[in-house]
Structure 1
Amino acid sequence: MANNAKRIRFAPKGGLYMAPAPTGETGGTALPTDLGDGKPPTGYADFGYVDEGGVTITPQLEVDPVNAWQSAVPVLYNVKSASFQIKATLMEFNKLTTELFFGASWVAVTGSDGKDTGIYRLDLSSTPSLTEISLVVDWSDKDIKYRCVIGRAQVSDRGAIQLQRAENGKFELTIDAMDHAGSLGYVLTNDVMGKAA
């Protein structure tokens, strides 16, 4: 195959979206099967601005070699584990980002008179529950679109928030895919891989 600079892709536009993980029940999250139009898929919420480093997508396989007496090299590899990971640094302080980062929900604080005080509280449990989510990452380069869909996922790592005078606070999150009916996720595109550009 000849070199073709037209096949090089960038991701100048994109979005990161979240919804509750599908439960299989009526009215639950339906995983998108289209490329989208630059807006969140139905039932998904937009995380907003992501740090200029963008989104990192990491599929991984860990394999064990199978060695045989008759060969100096492995004769087979066996899959030990598989993972699919999304990493992003979110820039907006909103309900979605803060609740996912802290692993808790905001509640309105009421006064002794039962009226809303205009203050919201997020309680950090000493025994937090783990929230399962569905994640969609969209990116595009001109008319070429990509969409990565993860049916079930969970936050596996959080970075520290730096509160500084000259730089905005950010929420660094690593999200790992979980098994969803035998799938870690899928990628959709209108970039025809078999077609010569």
Structure 2
Amino acid sequence: MPTGDAGKIRFAPSGMLYIAPAGGSLVLPDEVGDGDAAPTGYKALGYVSEEGVTLTPTIQTTPLNAWQSAAPVLYNVDSAAFQIQATLLEASKLVTETFFGTTWEEVMEDVSGTPTATGTYRLNLSSLPELVEFSLVVDWKQKNSLWRTVIARSMVSERGAITLQRTQSKQFQLTIDAMDLDGSLGYVLTNDDMGD
């Protein structure tokens, strides 16, 4: 009788999300890393809410039925997707620019004909926003078990509402969708023994 292996059960008590501009000279990581340092060229998005990060691979199929069978005889793939969801907690430059899809600019004023910084920053929200493409890495670990998901091309597909409250911090809820790169949505790396 087959038995389970409790030693193969994994949790994700800690981890981090990292982003970098997609394409260009960016080299995608091909190692699982050490579970602490950002991959070369990537920046950390900081604290995530206690709900953690959700990774959702999806395949949509259409069944092919035949006269000779009451059950489908074949399934055809209509679409494939890989989605990452997380609620970020830090109101940093990187997080807010990722959330709003635009960049901060320092407001300048003219002082005796010389542009002078005011110490105020402005985020312009366009009625025709340009979608920003980036590469995403999700790291997580449990003791010596390290895991890394690498997405070469991705984009924010959905943003949650920001609630302003006296007793709760601002939260930046993001849904990020992987995009195709030469037939790939991304890949997963681990140092866990997958030989069994």
TM tier, shorter chain? over 0.9
Matched-pair identity in %: 58
1:38-60 CA deviation, whole Å, 9 max, x = no partner?
11100000000000100000000
* Aligned-pair CA distance for 1:194: 2.4
Instruction: Tell me the secondary structure at the aligned position of residue 19 of structure 1.
Output: strand
Write the mapping of 1:108-123 to structure 2, written as runs, cut at 5 A: 108-113=106-111, 114-123=115-124
Match of 1:70 among 68, 71, 84: 68
CA drift of 1:181 comes to 1.5
Q: Indicate the SS of the match to 1:115.
A: strand
Partner of residue 85 from structure 1, selected from 59, 71, 83: 83
Q: Distance in 1 between matches of 2:16 and 2:70?
A: 48
| Unpaired stretches in structure 1, ≥5 consecutive residues | none
Give the superposition deviation at 1:89: 0.2
Q: Deviations over 1:59-81 (max 9, x none)?
A: 00000001111111111000000
- Please report the RMSD computed on the Cα atoms of aligned residues, expressed in angstroms: 0.8
Question: Corresponding residue for 2:7?
Answer: 6
Name the amino acid aligned to 2:178: A
Paired amino acid for 2:29: P
Equivalence for 2:175:
174
Paired position in structure 2 for 1:99 = 97
* Correspondent of 2:27 among 21, 26, 30: 30
Structure 2, unaligned stretches of length 5 or more? none
Deviations 1:109-152 (Å, cap 9, x if unpaired)?
A: 11112111111111000100000010000000110000000000
Aligned residues: 191
Partner letter of residue 185 of structure 2?
L
Distance 1:160 1:142 in 2: 35
| Local SS of the residue matching 2:177 | strand
1:11-49 residue CA offsets vs partner (Å, 9 max, x unmatched): 0110100001114xxxx2111011112111000000000
1:32 partner letter: P
- Deviating 4+ runs (over 6 angstroms): none
